[in-house]
Chains A and B, each alone.
Chain A
Amino acid sequence: MEKNNTVAFPQAKSLTGADTVKGFFRFVLRELKPKGKILTPFNVISALIILGGLILIVIRFAYGLGSITNLSQDYPWGIWIGFDVVTGVAFAGGAYTLCFVVHILNFKKYEPILRATVLNGFLAYCFYAGALLLDLGRPWNVINPIIGNAFGYSSVLFLVAWHFLLYTFCQFVEIFPAVTEWLYWPKVRKYAKLCTTGAVIFGITLSTLHQSGLGALFMMASNKIHPLWYSGNIPILFFVSSVFAGLSMVIAESTISHRVFQDQISPSHHASFDDILLGMAKGALGALFAYFFLKVIDFVHGGHWALLNTPMGYWYLVEIIGGIVIPIVLFTIAILKNNVRLVQVTAIITALGVILNRLNISVIAFKWYSVNRYYPSWAEVWVTAAVICMEIWAFRWIVSRMPIMREHPAFPDEENAPHKETEVVQWKVSAS
């Protein structure tokens, strides 16, 4: 492994502090070149999707939203908000959940997957923000709520927007040590590491508020959302579901990346990987239970029994049974039997359940009474697929260059050492 790592970071020596700015740019340019085989099936297909998506985006900006989307006066928000943003942010919830577990609760077991998860969260936020710009009618005015050209304090969206922005920055701070290792900036890395705890605590607080804030967005649409889905507890439901949504996504995502980036993973991490997945399944199970009871309380308090025996009621049962009850049962079996494969399958079912829930609130149960229902156009789906492909490309580019999955040979993992100099220093700094 040691040998592998030195091969993976050939520039480590050449980029010492004495190097010039010119050298830095030359290094970055060199790193921009693709690695490995270019003409793989995935590359070809995703490149075509991205190319098509870019063409659609040009059409959208030239002729307006109506040219490629099925948005209407009845449905101002389609899947670019309902899926790209509302669902995507829930899936990015794994980053703050794992940060809480590793940095605050000090469970070192999950450390090997932390960087990849935070990187995923960071990229997700960057790309969702990008997807959000596509949906805005006048995206150049997005700067207004940030520079203070009339702050709409009373708006939940104002809160969500600011927390979105600040949290993306927090995630960048959390992932920054990996960047400094890649560039071989040991001094910067030392200071970057000091900021981690603060960023984590601030990040968790921001996440709590904007995950639930995304739900609170729909509180003013109370007369438009089907009563089985509308509840005054939407913010809490959104927050709790973001925990198991995030964990399921981490399980699914790390399963895939472990296969794709197999050569980067150290043997010890390989050995502990099953244990990590089972642990996360336990976390997801706990959150699922909490969510299920909240749902039951909402349902009973709402007195919605009669609504169950309607088409929307059946659809509601699909979401509750398929997306919550079945995952609870399967996760329980998987944990009892130590069945990692079942954990992975259940994680995917849970993720589908979350997609269903978010789309229900934002699109399907929204204006459920409307005659002119909204269905995403093929172009909306295509652009969404293109955004996802771009994100995967970005993830792959970073993982194959920076120490995300693997350790940098020059920076051994001091986190796992029992006595941690850095941790002590962190406390000194935050206390002064």
Chain B
Amino acid sequence: MTISRRNFLKVAGAAGGVLLAGGQKPAQAAVPDADPKGLEFYGMLIDTTKCIGCRSCEEACNEKNKLAKPDVSFSSETVFEKKRDTTPEAFTVVNKFPNPKDPEKPIFVRKQCMHCNQPACATACLVKALEKTPEGPVKYNKDRCMGCRYCMVSCPFDAPKYEYNSNMPYLKKCVFCFDKVKNGEQPACVEACPEGASFFGKRRELLEIARQRIYQNPDKYHPYIYGEHEAGGTSMLFLSSVPVEKLDLRMNVGNTSYPEKTTGFLYAVPHIFILWPTFLFGLSYLTHSKDKENGHGEE
């Protein structure tokens, strides 16, 4: 025998230790806490009962983010004929839905990035190009992005959009006017809203306001705040007069945060990094020690 049991254990232990140190990193899964710096997330309450479909928010967003002018002007109502999704050139869009309660008054619903409390995209990003800020917005560091589009695969709301027709493409989505919010200002779309349908504030306060509105006007509001629990909670909160599934707000996203779906796997990584090599070393030692005995026998 050229290896003693003690030596073997030493090697196995050292290998396990080194690999553990390497493998532990993913387990620290940097899921941002609700308020790591004692700050509270900002959010936006979108009261669809107040929205008149004027699309001021779209226009303000377009200007703020210096996006290409759309083919159809912002004052045109023809865009409501088809349901629209956000695009690399439109970070927020307003869609029109029939109102079962009052056919005269259609319901208008905004669509944009939901700025999840624990965003799937930020967890998915391997270069931290997408980051949940302590203020709440999920911002985009374009210089880091390598364009793998795993964020698009992961996002339960399909918020990130990609510039497929560019040779220097970026990811495009609403970043909640992070530069403005950081300085205590309101996002451009909220500033532009003439009806107060988009309402900016601390997420906790917005939830209180939303609940208050539901309690005070039980006939007007459907008693559900979309975004309170969806995907573990989002910064965008929606109130409506009808059940939200009629408004194309996704109900199949579940209430657990998306990063949690992969933590089980990531936490198993260091275990495998200890157990596998130890087991393999042991097994290899056992199967090969027979050879050596045979070899010695022949000698």
Binding site for B on A (CB under 8 A): 61-67, 69, 71-74, 76-77, 100, 103-106, 135-139, 141-142, 144-145, 149-159, 161, 197, 200-202, 204-205, 208-209, 212-213, 216-224, 232, 235, 418-420, 423-424, 427-428, 430-432
Q: Return the 3 tightest CB-CB contacts between A and B, nearest first.
A: A137-B147, A419-B295, A66-B164
**B128 sits at the interface (CB 8 A):** yes
Cα of A71 to Cα of B264 in the assembled complex, Å: 31
With A219-B262, A419-B298, A428-B3 as known contacts, state yes or no: A209 contacts B269, CB within 8 Å: yes
CB-based contact B269/A137 at 8 Å: no
Enumerate chain A residues within 8 angstroms of B167, measured Cβ to Cβ.
Answer: 61-64
Looking at the assembled complex, report how far the CB atom of B123 sits from the nearest CB atom of chain A, in whole angstroms: 5
Enumerate chain A residues within 8 angstroms of B273, measured Cβ to Cβ.
Answer: 205, 209
Q: List 28 A-B contacts (CB under 8 A).
A: A64-B164, A72-B164, A73-B87, A76-B149, A136-B146, A138-B146, A138-B147, A139-B147, A149-B144, A150-B144, A153-B26, A154-B26, A154-B30, A157-B148, A197-B284, A201-B284, A209-B273, A216-B262, A220-B156, A220-B258, A222-B258, A223-B156, A223-B253, A235-B265, A419-B294, A424-B292, A427-B285, A428-B3
13 more A-B contacts (CB under 8 A) besides A420-B295, A428-B2?
Answer: A64-B166, A73-B87, A104-B280, A105-B287, A136-B147, A145-B127, A150-B127, A156-B266, A157-B148, A202-B277, A205-B19, A205-B277, A431-B7
Question: Chain B 256-277, CB within 8 Å of chain A: the 1/0 string?
Answer: 0011011011100100110011
CB-based contact A220/B120 at 8 Å: yes
Closest to A142 in B: B146
Looking at the assembled complex, report how far the CB atom of A195 sits from the nearest CB atom of chain B, in whole angstroms: 14
**B205 sits at the interface (CB 8 A):** no
CB-based contact A156/B265 at 8 Å: yes
CB within 8 A of A159: which of B30, B31, B266? Answer: B266
CB-based contact A424/B2 at 8 Å: yes
CB within 8 A of B158: which of A74, A77, A200, A204? Answer: A74
Binding site for A on B (CB under 8 A): 2-4, 7-8, 10-11, 19, 25-26, 28-31, 85, 87, 120, 123-129, 141, 144-150, 152-154, 156, 158, 161-170, 250, 252-254, 258-259, 261-262, 264-266, 269, 272-273, 276-277, 280-281, 283-285, 287-288, 290-292, 294-296, 298-299
Enumerate chain B residues within 8 angstroms of A223, measured Cβ to Cβ.
Answer: 156, 250, 252-254
Enumerate chain B residues within 8 angstroms of A224, measured Cβ to Cβ.
Answer: 153, 156
CB-based contact A155/B126 at 8 Å: yes
CB-based contact A161/B126 at 8 Å: yes
CB-based contact B169/A105 at 8 Å: no
Q: Chain A at the B interface: mostly helix, strand, loop or mixed?
A: helix
Cα of A161 to Cα of B170 in the assembled complex, Å: 21
Closest to B261 in A: A219
Enumerate chain A residues within 8 angstroms of B150, measured Cβ to Cβ.
Answer: 155, 157, 217
Cα of A142 to Cα of B146 in the assembled complex, Å: 6
CB-based contact B3/A427 at 8 Å: yes
Looking at the assembled complex, report how far the CB atom of A385 sits from the nearest CB atom of chain B, in whole angstroms: 22
Enumerate chain B residues within 8 angstroms of A100, measured Cβ to Cβ.
Answer: 280
Enumerate chain A residues within 8 angstroms of B128, measured Cβ to Cβ.
Answer: 150-152
Residue from the set A136, A145, A155 with the largest chain B CB neighbour count within 10 Å = A155
Closest to B32 in A: A154
Looking at the assembled complex, report how far the CB atom of A76 sits from the nearest CB atom of chain B, in whole angstroms: 4
Enumerate chain A residues within 8 angstroms of B287, measured Cβ to Cβ.
Answer: 104-106
CB-based contact B169/A201 at 8 Å: no
Closest to B131 in A: A150
Closest to B130 in A: A152
CB-based contact A153/B127 at 8 Å: no
With A223-B254, A420-B295 as known contacts, state yes or no: A63 contacts B266, CB within 8 Å: no
Looking at the assembled complex, report how far the CB atom of B174 sits from the nearest CB atom of chain A, in whole angstroms: 14
Cα of A72 to Cα of B277 in the assembled complex, Å: 42
CB-based contact A152/B127 at 8 Å: yes
CB-based contact A427/B25 at 8 Å: no
Closest to B6 in A: A431
Enumerate chain A residues within 8 angstroms of B295, measured Cβ to Cβ.
Answer: 418-420
Residue from the set A151, A156, A208 with the largest chain B CB neighbour count within 10 Å = A156
CB-based contact A141/B147 at 8 Å: yes
Looking at the assembled complex, report how far the CB atom of A55 sits from the nearest CB atom of chain B, in whole angstroms: 16
Closest to A133 in B: B146
Enumerate chain A residues within 8 angstroms of B258, measured Cβ to Cβ.
Answer: 220, 222
CB-based contact B261/A138 at 8 Å: no
With A139-B146, A208-B272, A430-B11 as known contacts, state yes or no: A104 contacts B162, CB within 8 Å: no
Looking at the assembled complex, report how far the CB atom of A240 sits from the nearest CB atom of chain B, in whole angstroms: 15
Residue from the set B253, B265, B295 with the largest chain A CB neighbour count within 10 Å = B265
Cα of A262 to Cα of B167 in the assembled complex, Å: 46
CB-based contact A157/B124 at 8 Å: yes
Cα of A424 to Cα of B266 in the assembled complex, Å: 37
Cα of A76 to Cα of B158 in the assembled complex, Å: 10
Cα of A77 to Cα of B120 in the assembled complex, Å: 17
Enumerate chain A residues within 8 angstroms of B284, measured Cβ to Cβ.
Answer: 103-104, 106, 197, 201
Looking at the assembled complex, report how far the CB atom of B292 sits from the nearest CB atom of chain A, in whole angstroms: 7
CB-based contact B288/A106 at 8 Å: yes
